[in-house]
Amino acid sequence: MDIANKVALITGTRRIGSVVGVELARRGADIALGYNRSRQEAEAAASQIRSLGRKALPLQGDVSKAAEVRNLVSRVVSEFGRVDVLVNMASVYRAQPFEETTEQEWDDNLNVNLKSAFLCAQAVVPIMRGNGGGRIINFADWIAASRRPRYKGFVPYYVSKAGVIGLTEVLALELAPHQILVNAIAPGPILAPPDLTEEEDREVRKATPLGRWGGEIEIAKAVISLIETDFITGECIRVDGGRHVH
């Protein structure tokens, strides 16, 4: 698929999502930026996109709720007339000991990380089908993509991200007849958390064969490649600097 003159809807536009939106705009796409609480980041990304001569539409919504997803997609279609690309980046990530994990925390992880990807895909597929095809890109995690947990304290997060991979595979099968390609990206050490200590930073670099953090642009490159491909579907691509082979 040629990115130029296409419309992409990105959910979760804080930090990495904003960079993805700007990079797609550089290649000629118009961008809808879905956010829940990160309005400032979405507005800043929209300003950058418009400075590149492309249209941008920041939209607030809770993508774990079907009614809000339907409203969000309806507004994108009303503004742009179509949706060609869906990038499901909305996510929550918190450490919590298993014994202390509440039902609400379990639901938050499953709803935001997994359910939202299902709801958004379900909402855009009729539009993509009417346009003759499209691309759906979900976001998993390098640990879930390795098919085994490595760190304690992330039970609902790991389960939700493993579910994203399963959703990606089954949607790829379901939607292939409509030329809608569905893939996932599994990020590794992309951005250092702001509260990371020097010692923790050294540990991450040491555990990553390439010896560094990737940076947001590496995720944008992966998204672009999965949009442009016409024959890859049902895949989960790890962008982790080789972390999974360490």
The residues assigned a catalytic role are 157
CB atoms within 10 A of CB 4: 8
Which stretch of DSSP H or E encloses residue 33? strand 30-35
Could you tell me how far CA 198 lies from the centroid of its own chain? Answer: 28
Three-class SS state of 30? strand
Start-to-end C-alpha separation, the chain: 34
Q: Distance (Å, rounded) from C-alpha 190 to C-alpha 216?
A: 6
CB-CB contact of 13 with 21 (8 Å): yes
Beta-bridge mates of residue 11: 34, 88
